[in-house]
């Protein structure tokens, strides 16, 4: 097994116990990636497909590489929309950059009428508090927090930034979750909750958001902010998916909740069925490096 130089430098700073555990995980996930690299998504037809990616808005070659992988995936497995998980315009949310950091990279998808549903990241607030992005039609944001449905899923977009109106937003979220008739519920926002990346656990969000996820049976939370890919094991029934390696990358560790983690540039793809979701991590070479099944809550 080869280890990239940046990974080697990181590993040499760890004690022997931690190092042994990480090497074991790296070996297992490396082997898993090899096994899945030539795997095709299931041949049975899902109800629909969507993908998610975050921290994209650089306009650089790495964003274009991930966007091109999304285009190639779409040609073989057409998806209906993209969850865009914030930091849509680097560095400061300047709407005049929208052509370079969004319209050009995703032109092929936009030309095929693929919709994008965005949320606001911390960088997006640096210009006009994100208002210009809220008004940009191709981001399809019906407010700083909003909901939409693709049966059998209801999606809930959050404003996870520090200046969000949290009292109003939490009241709205609980009301919408309690009224939802959809069997599947997916929440997305920019900031992490369970993460093995640079920012780690978000204790405040664990306190205020995860009880609602458990109470109303939210199966998935999608985020960016961490520039990596990480899929957790279900935690009280909820899988936490970080897909923030859409244009930038940082090293990611592993934790007791981690099912798979990598810093490779990537996006996540979902196949939706009545009784399960299939989620896959896909890199710029269109290799499937991670694959997991998310099931409905069992009461």
Give me the residue spans of the domains in the chain. Answer: 37-295
* % of residues, the chain, pLDDT over 70: 85
Question: In this model, does residue 26 exceed pLDDT 50?
Answer: no
CA distance 97 to 243: 22
Both ends of the chain: CA-CA distance in Å? 42
Predicted local confidence at residue 43, as pLDDT: 55
Q: Read off the pLDDT of each residue in 96-121 and give the average, rounded to a whole number.
A: 98
pTM, full prediction: 0.88
Q: What is the pLDDT of residues 252-265, one digit of tens each?
A: 999 999 999 999 99
Please state, in angstroms and as integers, the Cα–Cα distance from residue 243 to each residue in 157, 159, 189, 226, 249, following that order.
15, 17, 11, 8, 10
**Is the per-residue pLDDT at 28 higher than 50?**
no
CA-based nearest residue to 251, from 7, 82, 73: 7
Considering the chain, what percentage of its residues have pLDDT values greater than 90? 84
pLDDT at 3 over 90: no
Domain 37-295 CATH (choose: 3.90.480.20, 3.30.230.10, 2.40.50.320, 3.60.21.10)? 3.60.21.10
In angstroms, the CA 18 to CA 126 distance is 38
- Banded model confidence at residue 126, pLDDT cuts 50, 70, 90: very high
């Amino acid at each position: 097994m080869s280890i990239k130089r940046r990974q080697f430098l990181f590993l040499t700073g760890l004690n022997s116990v931690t190092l042994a555990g990480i090497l074991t995980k790296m070996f297992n996930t490396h082997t898993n990636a090899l096994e899945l690299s030539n795997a095709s998504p299931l041949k049975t037809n899902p109800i629909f497909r969507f993908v998610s990616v975050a921290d994209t808005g650089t306009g650089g070659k790495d964003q274009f590489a991930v966007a091109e992988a999304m285009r190639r995936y779409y040609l073989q497995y057409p998806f209906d929309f993209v969850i865009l998980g914030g930091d849509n315009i680097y560095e400061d949310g300047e709407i005049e950059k929208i052509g370079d950091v969004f319209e050009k990279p995703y032109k092929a998808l936009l030309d095929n009428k693929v919709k994008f549903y965005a949320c606001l990241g911390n960088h997006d607030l640096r210009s006009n508090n994100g208002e210009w992005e809220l008004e940009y039609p191709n981001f399809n944001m019906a407010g700083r927090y909003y909901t939409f449905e693709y049966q059998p899923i209801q999606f809930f977009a959050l404003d996870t930034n520090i200046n969000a109106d949290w009292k109003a937003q939490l009241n709205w979220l609980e009301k919408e979750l309690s009224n939802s008739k959809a069997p599947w519920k997916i929440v997305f926002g920019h900031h992490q909750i369970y993460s093995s990346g640079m920012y780690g656990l978000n204790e405040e969000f664990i306190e205020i958001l995860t009880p609602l996820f458990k109470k109303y049976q939210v199966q998935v939370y999608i985020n960016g902010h961490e520039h990596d890919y990480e899929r957790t094991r279900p935690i009280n029934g909820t899988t936490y998916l970080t897909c923030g390696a859409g244009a930038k990358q940082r090293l990611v560790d592993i934790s007791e909740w981690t099912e798979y983690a990598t810093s490779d540039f990537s996006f996540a793809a979902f196949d939706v069925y009545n009784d399960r979701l299939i989620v896959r991590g896909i890199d710029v070479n269109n290799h499937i490096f991670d694959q997991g099944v998310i099931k409905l809550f069992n009461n």
